[in-house]
Amino acid sequence: MKFTIQVNEGPYQHQASDSAYHFTKAALEKGHKIYRVFFYHDGVNNGTRLTTPPQDDRNIVNRWSELGKEYDLDMVLCVAAAQRRGIVDDGEAQRNGKDATNIAPGFRISGLGQLIEGGVQSDRLIVFGD
């Protein structure tokens, strides 16, 4: 089965990101395909490289980056949601006159069309969070 995953909540204020990560990892390990992971609303906070959780806590951003690298996942942050929350890649920094970037490895920024395409191309679109 082919899935697109939508994550609507940030990494530490809600269980949604943890649940989405564990579901995605389990699906991949069982041989399913993940067409795309789309981070929307506060979910884009899963894609900032500036999070620094305490050493005894899980690093959710690193978990996503490592899973993305291991399985060559397409992990997309919604551009409008990312801009509102100060998350930028090289292109967005240049376009908006910012002097730094903070996107985590393995993530990219794009529009809502990527979510729609994921829903069309997949057997199931699974949403985590409100």
> Among all residues, which ones are annotated catalytic?
78
- Residue 37 CA to residue 25 CA, distance in Å, equals 12
Task: Say how many CA atoms lie within 13 Å of 77 toward its Cβ.
Answer: 33
Give the dihedral of Cα atoms 102, 106, 17, 35; nearest 10 deg: 140
